[in-house]
């Protein structure tokens, strides 16, 4: 048995039909590629990495250097993490100028004694691991020195405006995937450019183990939505823990999303259990997802 589930973010705000179609077809394309890898190579790890790499290349998603949101000073800072059913995990936080943060996260999992690398350290690790640095021309966001200079005076306004903006701007297109291969090996991964116009250095949930990404022997899960809420609730860990305690996977996803709804923030979650059953739930208007179980 093998299974795969993919998401392209959970939107709560208004999204034009054209954009919805683009996201659905982006998820479909990435899903098909991941499925081929799962079928041919029987590797949950390769399937998850390739699905997410494909979505990181797609300008319709908030991941990678092409589609990620810019922060308040015009920069792209990305987070990604991957975790497997042996509880090995790797993640990068606030990495810049690298096309595929998910691949760097995988390298951290496979080669580092550490779990998470952030900022400059993540970038140095990516460089010495042979990942190509993306030039400013190849990506859409670059730091604007004038914006940095304005930071101290705009700081108070930022706090007020940001809270307001979060209420209006509820578009989330972080990407994630979970797969299980015939060896029963489960892998979950998530990649994001965070939330638009965030304060530089903000860390969302995606690379936080147990918040945006989590896997154990019992299942794997990836989340999207407002990171600050997802971290507090520990969304993906909660889903997998509930499954471990006997809750069916769909019910676990729905119950955890209900908790998020009660706390008043948008959240979407996907998950797979050991038997390849998928759970998908969100409290937004639109969340492109696809899942399959192969016997
Ligand atoms: N969860 C992401 C973050 O807070 C945003 C998203 O899901 O699109 O960084």
Q: Which of 68, 94, 174 to mutate to test the pocket of ligand 1 (most atoms within 8 A of CB)?
A: 174
Residue 227 annotated in ligand binding: yes
Task: Give the residue ranges of the chain where pLDDT is below 70.
Answer: 136, 140-156, 160, 163-170
Residue 215 structural domain: 2-294
pLDDT digits (tens, 9 = 90+) for 101-142: 999 999 999 999 999 999 999 999 999 999 998 876 777 656
Q: CB of 256 within 8 A of CB of 235? A: yes
Residue 13 annotated in ligand binding: no
With helix as H, strand as E and coil as C, how does 180-217 read? ECCCCCEEEEEEECCCCCCCCCCCCCCCCECCCEEEEC
Number of domains within the chain? 1
pLDDT of residue 11: 85
Q: Which of 79, 197, 212 to mutate to test the pocket of ligand 1 (most atoms within 8 A of CB)?
A: 212
**Mean pLDDT estimate for the chain:** 92
Q: How far is the CA of 103 from the centre of ligand 1 (A)?
A: 19
pLDDT of residue 12: 79
Q: CB of 274 within 8 A of CB of 219? A: yes
Please tell me the distance from the alpha carbon of residue 49 to that of residue 272, in angstroms, as a whole number. 16
Q: Ligand 1: residues within 6 Å at CB?
A: 9, 62, 172-174, 192, 194-195, 204-206, 212, 224-227, 230
pLDDT of residue 169: 58
pLDDT of residue 135: 79
pLDDT of residue 170: 64
Concatenate the DSSP letters of all residues of 111-150 into one string: H-SSSEEEHHHHHHHHHHTTPPBPPGGGSS----HHHHHH
Q: Which CATH number belongs to the domain containing residue 39 in this structure? A: 3.60.20.30
Residue 202 annotated in ligand binding: yes
Token pair 């499954």: residue: 243
pLDDT of residue 263: 95
């Amino acid at each position: 048995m093998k299974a795969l589930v993919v998401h392209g973010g959970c939107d709560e705000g208004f999204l034009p039909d054209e954009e919805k179609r683009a996201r659905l077809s982006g998820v479909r394309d990435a899903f098909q590629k991941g499925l081929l890898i799962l079928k041919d190579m029987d590797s949950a790890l390769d399937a998850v990495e390739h699905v997410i790499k494909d979505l990181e290349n797609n300008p319709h998603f908030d991941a990678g250097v092409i589609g990620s949101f810019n922060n308040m000073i015009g920069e792209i800072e990305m987070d990604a993490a991957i975790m497997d059913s042996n509880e090995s995990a790797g993640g990068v936080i606030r990495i810049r100028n690298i096309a595929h943060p998910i691949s760097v996260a995988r390298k951290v999992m496979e080669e580092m004694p550490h779990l998470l690398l952030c900022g400059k350290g993540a970038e140095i690790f990516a460089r010495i691991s042979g990942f190509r640095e993306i030039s400013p021309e190849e990506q859409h966001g670059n730091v604007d020195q004038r914006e940095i200079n304005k930071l101290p005076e705009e700081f108070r306004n930022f706090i007020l405006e940001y809270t307001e903006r979060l209420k209006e701007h509820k578009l989330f297109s972080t990407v994630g995937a979970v797969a299980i291969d015939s060896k029963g090996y489960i892998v979950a991964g998530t990649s994001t450019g965070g939330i638009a116009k965030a304060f530089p250095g903000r860390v969302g949930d995606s690379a936080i183990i147990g918040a945006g990404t989590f896997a154990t022997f019992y299942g794997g899960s990836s989340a999207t939505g407002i990171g600050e809420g997802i971290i507090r609730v520990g969304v993906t860990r909660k889903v997998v823990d509930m499954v471990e305690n006997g809750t069916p996977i769909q019910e676990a996803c729905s119950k955890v999303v209900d908790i998020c709804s009660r706390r008043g923030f948008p959240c979407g979650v996907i998950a797979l259990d050991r038997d390849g059953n998928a759970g998908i739930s969100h409290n937004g208007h639109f969340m492109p997802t696809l899942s399959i179980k192969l016997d």
